[in-house]
């Protein structure tokens, strides 16, 4: 999968409309520092910059025309985490359609817990990923699926603002109509 085909297809938001993103923006302070993890070609990062936020985009693939207003970190999420100084803190983390590509044990036991130490009080984390679909043909390339209760356990001391598993109709890469099962999650520290 190349970054450019992430926005569109497979139930992603072709039109760049996302209620979760709107809600995430509402909760960020003015001029926030936001990290877009698994940023793809940076479409969501661009929106964050347009909204006046300093934006770090972590993406393991090389991006063809990187927007110069974004602080690009061309590396894997795990390497980025390792490279962080202990005192690094952001106001928000945007994780749209990336967790399904990462190792689930790493995500639930190491990565998400580590973000607890790298976020300001009142900071927000937004996640959109997939719940396992009952359709055996669905997105075989995803190593990990997440239920809301698994995420809620990781953020048990946080304010849960949005936590849902939702069915959505969309088209897959071959243009076939499919049901998708999304996990959407938004928490505030």
Ligand X SMILES: C[S@@+](CC[C@H](N)C(=O)[O-])C[C@H]1O[C@@H](n2cnc3c(N)ncnc32)[C@H](O)[C@@H]1O
Q: Which residues bind ligand X (CB under 6 A)?
A: 3, 6-7, 38-40, 43-44, 58-61, 76-77, 96-98, 101-102
**Nearer residue to ligand X within complex by CB, 55 or 97:** 97
What is the Cα–Cα distance from 129 to 9, expressed in whole angstroms?
14
**Least gap, CB of 36 to ligand X (angstroms):** 7
Task: Decide whether 1 or 179 has the Cβ nearer to ligand X.
Answer: 1
Please provide the size of the chain in residues: 189
Q: Which residue is nearest to ligand X (CB)?
A: 40
Task: Extract long-range pairs of 73-80: CB within 8 Å, 24+ residues apart.
Answer: 77/37, 77/38, 77/102, 77/111, 78/102, 78/106, 78/111, 80/37
The nearest distance, CB 156 to ligand X, in angstroms, is: 25
The distance of closest approach from Cβ of residue 113 to ligand X in the complex, given in angstroms and rounded to an integer, is 17
Tokens representing residue 45 in the block: 């990062």
| Residue among 33 and 73 whose Cβ is closer to ligand X | 73
Find, among 165, 152, 150, the residue nearest to 104 by Cα. 150
**Which is closer to ligand X, CB of 33 or CB of 127?**
127
Residue 116 Cβ vs ligand X, minimum distance, rounded to whole Å = 20
Residue 67 CB neighbour total at 10 angstroms: 15
d(CA 138, CA 67): 32
- Pick 32 or 81: Cβ nearer ligand X: 81
Q: How far is the CB of 129 from ligand X (least distance, A)?
A: 10
């Amino acid at each position: 999968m190349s970054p450019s085909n992430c926005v569109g297809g497979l139930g992603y938001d072709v039109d760049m409309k996302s209620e979760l993103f709107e809600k995430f923006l509402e909760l960020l302070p003015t001029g926030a520092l936001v990290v877009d993890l698994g940023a793809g070609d940076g479409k969501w990062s661009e929106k964050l910059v347009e909204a006046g936020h300093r934006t770090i985009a972590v993406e393991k693939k090389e991006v063809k025309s990187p927007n110069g207003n974004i602080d690009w970190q061309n590396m894997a999420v795990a390497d980025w985490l390792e490279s962080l100084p202990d005192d690094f803190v952001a106001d928000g983390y945007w994780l749209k359609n990336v967790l399904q590509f990462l190792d689930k044990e790493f995500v639930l036991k190491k990565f998400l817990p580590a973000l607890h130490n790298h976020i300001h009080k009142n900071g927000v984390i937004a996640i959109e990923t997939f719940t396992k679909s009952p359709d055996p043909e669905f997105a075989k390339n995803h190593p990990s699926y997440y239920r809301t209760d698994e995420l809620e356990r990781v953020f048990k001391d946080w304010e849960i603002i949005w936590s849902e598993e939702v069915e959505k109709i969309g088209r897959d890469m071959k243009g076939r109509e499919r049901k998708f099962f999304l996990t959407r999650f938004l928490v505030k520290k």
